[in-house]
Amino acid sequence: MTSDTTIGAAGELSSPAASARPDAQGWLVLTSVRSRGRLATDPIPRLRAVLLRFGLAALAALVLVGIAGAVVSRHIAETQSVHEAAQVTDLLADSVVQPALTDAMATDTSAAKRGLGELIRTRVLSDSLVRVKLWTPQGRIMYSDEPRLVNEQFGLDNGAREALSSPQTRSEISNLGKPENRFELGRGTLLEVYRPVWTPSGKPLLFETYFRYDQVSARASQLWRGFAGITLSSLAALVLLLAPLVWTLLVRARRAHAQREQMLQRAMDASLDERRRIAATLHDGVVQELAAASFTVAASAEQAAARGDGELAHRLREAGAAVRTSIGGMRSLLVDIYPPSLRGSGLSAALSDLAMTFAGRTPDVVLAIDEEAALGLTPEEQQAYFRFVQECLRNAAKHAQAATATVSLRRDDAGIVLDVVDDGVGFDPSIRREADHFGLNLMIDLARELGAELALRTEPGHGTAWRLTGPAR
């Protein structure tokens, strides 16, 4: 697991890894191993992966648009078909049925049959309109093209009563389970439309028509074909136009990222060259002059002692010791600025030089370096491993009050493993003050640059162990 470290308002270290439970061996993982095929800091995804995701997104959009189009076209077709059926019913009621009504048809089914039978068969019924019924307000069927329904009595539903009481045309999907619709079974889904008509004396009757619902499906298919032809082709054209643009933007982004990486590398190389120049200047200048001054002071001390001036000899020896201490400090600084053995002799020699800078002070550094593992690191990795050990030892000397620190480098199945363990005071990883936070950030950044796993194991009073595991090749 990976973690991003932040500083809270109180200056405490806040990170998911710090708050997570350690594993069975007590390790808290701060960064995870990443593949070496790609820079750990590379934010630009591969072109092929992006185009694949783009294509899948476009395909998903086409499918969603297609489904939405089918639903919308179905709804539009249903609405339009219902409206058209209502218009046809209104037209038939006003122009065919109502002019043929007589007052006798409101009470006499025979009169209704004689006056409407032929008219309904020739001018009303069609392939789409399959049933006609004429009702009284009391629910009696005065006429139907299905003779078995004539003169039967059924209860009008609320919609039919509202259509009579407040003259209007209403339509709905027919409930073929009702007794009055038993003879429409087997015709598929039907759309029924009803509205009031009036006899010459003003007596209301309910005129009801039944239309085949398959015209709704046919209309939906027609609308869908028109919708799909325009919308999907437009969307496909948009995808085709965007694909080269996405490709170009990604190529430019990767090119810009590569340029930034090159500039960063040049800056790092320039910094290394500058450190090398400063180290060489100090070594050939200040260090040599201090060494010469040390020899001169030592010689003067011997001369003073020979003359019997013991006090002057003592002071000169103290001055010589101070100069030699300064030389030691300067040489330690040179190793910090630029370890000369790192490029020339490799990581093992550089770590030996680093350990020597702690001679005579704590912690006492013990090295256990696998030469074969060290040689398996690239020069850049060797430099990063060296900086990591350097920072760990600095922390051990400055904060941990450690007497001993052990540095080991080995190779195992996980990769090249670097362990730095001290016997200092340790700390609670979930509570770190801001003053101690820079070193931890530096080690996390080094691990991320390597694409390596960084793990920590510590607790108050039990020392600190750092483990850096580079990805296996």
DSSP letters spanning 333-349:
HHHHH--HHHHHH-HHH
- Average pLDDT over the chain, rounded to an integer: 78
Provide φ and ψ at 259, rounded to 5°.
Answer: -65, -40
On the question of pLDDT at 10 being above 50, the answer is no
Query: In this structure, what is the dihedral angle of CA atoms 294, 299, 301, 306, given to the nearest 10 degrees?
Result: 170
Q: Does residue 129 surpass a pLDDT of 70? A: yes
| The model's pTM | 0.43
Residue 36 has pLDDT above 80, yes or no: no
What pLDDT score does 7 carry? 32
Task: With a cut of 70, say whether residue 126 has pLDDT above it.
Answer: yes
- Element containing residue 325 per DSSP (H, E): helix 310-337
Separation CA 438–CA 420 (nearest Å): 18
Fold exhibited by the domain 6-32+339-469: Heat Shock Protein 90 (3.30.565)
| Percent of the chain topping pLDDT 70 | 78
The Cα–Cα gap between 374 and 404 comes to 22
DSSP secondary-structure letter at 175?
A: -
The pLDDT of residue 134 is 95
Q: What is the model's pLDDT at position 107?
A: 93
Please provide the DSSP assignment of 121-159 as one string: HHHT--SSEEEEEEE-TTSBEEEESSGGGTT-B----HH
CATH 3.30.450.20 positions along the chain are 57-219
Which tops the pLDDT comparison, 288 or 413?
413
Of 100, 144, 105, 103, give the one whose Cα is nearest residue 121. 144
In whole angstroms, give the CA distance from residue 224 to residue 71.
Answer: 9
State the pLDDT confidence band at 340, using cuts at 50, 70 and 90: low
Nearest to 216 by CA among 346, 78, 96: 78
Which pLDDT does position 1 carry in this prediction?
34
The arithmetic mean of pLDDT across residues 115-132, rounded, is 91
Residues 57-219: name the CATH superfamily.
Answer: PAS domain (3.30.450.20)
| Mean pLDDT (whole number) for 375-403 | 84
pLDDT band per the 50, 70, 90 thresholds, residue 437? low
Residues 6+ apart with CB under 8 A from 185: 176
The model's confidence at residue 332, banded by pLDDT at 50, 70 and 90, is low
pLDDT at residue 152 greater than cutoff 80: yes
Tell me: pLDDT of 341 over 60. no
Per-residue model confidence (pLDDT) at position 435: 46
Is residue 94's pLDDT more than 90?
yes
Residues 6+ apart with CB under 8 A from 164: 137, 156, 196, 204, 206
Residue 2 scores a pLDDT above 80 = no
Backbone region of residue 202 per phi and psi (left: phi > 0; alpha: psi in -120 to 50; beta: other values): left
pLDDT at 233 over 60: yes
For the chain, give the percent of residues with pLDDT over 90.
23
pLDDT tier for residue 128 given thresholds of 50, 70 and 90: confident
Strand, coil or helix: 33: coil
pLDDT score, position 280? 64
At 16 the pLDDT is 40
464-469 sheet: strands from edge to edge: 28-31, 453-458, 464-469, 415-422, 404-412, 364-369
Top mean-pLDDT range of 26-40, 55-69, 131-145: 131-145
**Per the structure block, which two tokens stand in for 380?**
């850049």
Whole-angstrom distance, CA of residue 469 vs CA of residue 411: 9
**Which residues have CB under 8 Å from 8's CB, separation 6+?**
14
C-beta separation of 137 from 204 below 8 A: yes
| Higher per-residue confidence, 305 vs 146 | 146
pLDDT, greater one: 292 or 325: 292
Residue 206: is its pLDDT beyond 90?
yes
Q: What's residue 139's pLDDT?
A: 93
Residue 111 has pLDDT above 90, yes or no: yes
**CATH 3.30.565.10 domain locations along the chain:** 6-32+339-469
pLDDT of residue 9: 32
Average pLDDT, integer, range 85-114: 93
Residue 31: pLDDT band by 50, 70, 90 thresholds? confident
- pLDDT mean over 64-86: 77
Contact (CB, 8 A) for 421 and 405: yes
pLDDT computed for residue 125 by the predictor? 92
Residue 444 Ramachandran class (φ > 0 left, ψ -120 to 50 alpha, else beta) = alpha
Q: Could you tell me which of 389, 434, 57, 372 has the C-alpha nearest to residue 238?
A: 57
Is the per-residue pLDDT at 45 higher than 60?
no
Which has the higher per-residue pLDDT, 356 or 208? 208
Q: Is the pLDDT of residue 51 over 90?
A: no
Give the pLDDT confidence score for residue 42 in this predicted structure: 47
Where does the pLDDT of residue 250 fall: very low under 50, low under 70, confident under 90, or very high at 90 and above? confident
Q: What is the pLDDT of residue 400?
A: 79
Q: Is residue 123 scored above 70 in pLDDT?
A: yes
The answer to whether residue 213 scores a pLDDT higher than 70 is: yes
Q: Sorting pLDDT into bands at 50, 70 and 90, what band is 46?
A: low
